Chain A
Amino acid sequence: MYRYDETDRQIIMDRVAQFRGQTDRFLSGDLPEAEFLPLRLQNGLYVQRFAPMLRICIPYGMLSSPQLRRLARISRDYDKGYAHFTTRQNVQFNWPKLEDVPDILAELAEVEMHGVQTSGNCIRNTTTDQFAGVTDEEIVDPRPYCEIIRQWSTFHPEFAFLPRKFKIAVNACPDSDRAAIQVHDIGLQMIRNDAGELGFQVRVGGGLGRTPLIGSVIREFLPELDLLTYLDAILRVYNRYGRRDNKYKARIKILVKALGPEAFAEKVEAEWAHIKDSPARLTEAEIDRIKVHFSSPAYLTVEQIDTAAFEKAREENTFFGNWVNRNVTEHRVPGYAAVTLTLKKLGVPPGDVTDKQLDALASLCEQYSFGELRVTHEQNVVLADVRKDQLFDLWTAIKPLGFATPNLGTLTDMICCPGGDYCSLANAKSIPVAEALQARFDDLDYLYDLGPIDLNISGCMNACGHHHVGNIGVLGVDKKGEEWYQVSLGGASGQDADIGKILGPSFAREQMPEVIDRILQTYVDQRQGDETFLDTYRRIGINPFKERVYASAS
């Protein structure tokens, strides 16, 4: 992963000093709350329902073991002993004290971490595939490009006060998309052109929230060296012309929609023509410099790895076999595998980890995966480089920690935002719904039989739980001061991204397990062959589901 040099280190220390000064001025009354607000937001500090909340950036989801240990320590020293992995590959502390935040940021800076631009109307953390660099599906490792974007976007002088937040995602797999790039403000698909040159297909204006939209392609091929100047051009057009009069109409998707993608693209191209050959243009040397940070670790050869023992254990032990089938992913290097550790245990809010678990994760990644770990947008974590002959040991080690629930990709591997238990914007609680569903659908054989289903829950229209792109989406709504839930079907976030359709009138919380059960029964009754839930839905449409769910009193 990327390691700071002296300049990077100095810049992040400067940031800590700046925020310390701003916090002092706020506490002494020199800086009014309204003017402190965007400054603290751009350092990750929110004020939530019960306490401040600090969102720490995990660039494109990568963490090292010293960073994990530092997060554990901070959660002990400044918080209540746990942290929360978010749906944007970041981590949050829910109870820090405002006056402690500069110290927390200083502790983070020591391990090359920060809360920079994790909130506020600026360019946020760039996200990508959690299997980047280890999957054989990709045409190139996207992480160096994410790092290049990170540096470009960090303290960009022109784009710190955009109309609204701005999120960029990168995908390098031609046939799959774990980064959900079609629902980002900018989605970059890495491709090769006919001449074999590397570049990006550029999509703009996707997003969730109140107006869910799939992004439009505004450029079929952008050569890699033109990445940053083109981003500058897009952001400049957005900064100048994006709406600032209404926060709900301020995202770039509204501008793209209002102008039309072609007219928007023309504006970007016109702007870009002026700057494409400026000194801001990326260089081969810089790409090479960054790539060195992402070179392969010292893998053993497949002959050095006893894969036979692994295959044997997999056959003999059904529990282990189930876990391997579900939670272990193929690796581009023979003899290795990528392992997803699930943070979705019954009774624990999705994405929550204790300080002890963070320390344990640090030791696990040191022992099994070259000291690095990745966070996924489904709120799980991945050890990306595990030797197959160590999988059994790893499985044995993570079971007691609660990381081995073999439900990856199934119904109970839900995405769920913090909701009304933690978030002041919520219409409804989301975690109790997730828990009720986990309790109702705890039969693994049934879950395996249902196959892959994305169930996503958001506590309000802000859609942090990505409910629009869940095959089954659940949205908390407020009905005369009461918490209700609206269900949508047919959303998808991958290559075939789609926005779900609303099933009908919303439900009370107690009804939710029964509602989901009826949806699943409809699928089971109607599916043909090995159709997935999404396949069946796309074939038969929403009506059969609607009829079943709303039949008699539910």
Chain B
Amino acid sequence: MPLLLDSGQQTEDLWVVLPRSDTPADQTIPDGKVLIHLASWEAQRDELKDRASEIGVWLDSDDEPERLATEALSLPVLAVNFPVFSDGRGYSIARLIRERLGYTGDLLAIGDVLVDQLFYMKRCGINQFRLRSDQKTDAAVAALSTFSDSYQSSVEQPLPLFRRRPA
């Protein structure tokens, strides 16, 4: 399934997601574009230095984004895992990666990524979505523009509605 972009366009999904390992220092990182778990990256980042354009890091919902070293912020892709769609920690993690750490690369949602959560994910700064394979693309594209406006400050629109409301 292609990756859905926040613009509603689709693009080929070139990333292989490597699962979390019990022994992150010894995890074998295959060639090609791979998303590896934060712990594996922390354990192996020196060896992976030369592959910077092929390596992305994903965070699980119980990971602390504050742990991401400055080096990680120059990676082309970071990802947030939603183990189940009802686990809302990923929304906070995504905002922290964008707003607190100032990450400007691509931020992917991976895991249990469903049509009806895309709008909020997008507002929290996620710009690419690896939808669960049974999700319908047309419904997903439509869901990206569910609301014409929103009340709160968000990554997408830092000014809350009250700072923009027509008089």
Contacts and interface: CB of A to CB of B under 8 A. Distances in A.
Interface of A: 5-7, 10-11, 14-15, 18, 21-22, 25, 30-31, 35, 38-39, 121, 151-152, 154-163, 228, 236, 239-240, 244, 274, 278-280, 282-283, 285-286, 289
A85 to B, nearest CB: 27
Interface in B93-148: 93, 95, 99-100, 114, 116-117, 119-121, 123-124, 136, 139, 142, 146-148
A38 B120 contact: no
A160 B114 contact: no
11 contacts: A5-B166, A11-B149, A14-B147, A21-B142, A35-B116, A151-B151, A157-B120, A158-B95, A239-B91, A283-B163, A285-B162
Given A35-B114, A35-B116, A279 B163 contact: yes
A228 B89 CA distance: 20
Given A5-B165, A157-B124, A280 B87 contact: no
Nearest to B83: A244
Contacts of A160: 88, 91, 117, 120
Contact of A279 (B114, B160, B166): B160
Contacts, number: 109
B100 A274 contact: yes
Contacts of A30: 136, 139
A22 B139 CA distance: 10
Contacts of B2: none
A247 B149 CA distance: 33
Interface string B65-103: 000000000000000000001111101110100011000
A28 to B, nearest CB: 11
B152 interface: yes
Given A38-B86, A239-B89, A156 B149 contact: no
Contact of B124 (A152, A158, A240, A286): A158
A31 B100 CA distance: 35
Closest 3 CB pairs of A and B: A161-B88, A157-B123, A280-B153
B68 to A, nearest CB: 15
Given A160-B91, A239-B88, 8 more contacts: A14-B147, A25-B139, A35-B114, A39-B116, A155-B151, A157-B91, A244-B89, A279-B163
Contact of A10 (B119, B124, B149): B149
Contact of B148 (A11, A21, A157, A289): A11
Nearest to A236: B92
Contacts of A158: 88, 91-92, 95, 120, 124
Contacts of A35: 85, 114, 116
Given A152-B151, A160-B88, A240-B89, A7 B161 contact: yes
A161 B86 contact: yes
Interface of B: 85-89, 91-93, 95, 99-100, 114, 116-117, 119-121, 123-124, 136, 139, 142, 146-154, 158-163, 165-166
Nearest to B163: A279
B86 A152 contact: no
A276 B30 CA distance: 43
Contacts of B142: 21
Contact of B158 (A22, A236, A278): A278
Contacts of A163: 88
A108 to B, nearest CB: 17
Interface centre among B92, B124, B158 (most CB of A within 10 A): B92
A264 B91 CA distance: 21
A38 B147 CA distance: 18
Contacts of A7: 149, 161, 165-166
A474 to B, nearest CB: 34
A15 B161 contact: no
A163 B89 CA distance: 9
Q: Which of B123, B124, B153, B162 has the most CB of A within 10 A?
A: B162
A45 to B, nearest CB: 14
Contacts of B121: 157
A438 to B, nearest CB: 41
A157 B153 CA distance: 9
Contacts of A162: 88
A239 B87 contact: no
A155 B158 contact: no
Contacts of B136: 30
A283 B166 CA distance: 15
B111 to A, nearest CB: 13
A209 B107 CA distance: 39
B153 A244 contact: no
Contacts of B165: 5, 7, 289
A279 B93 CA distance: 19
Contacts of A156: 151-152
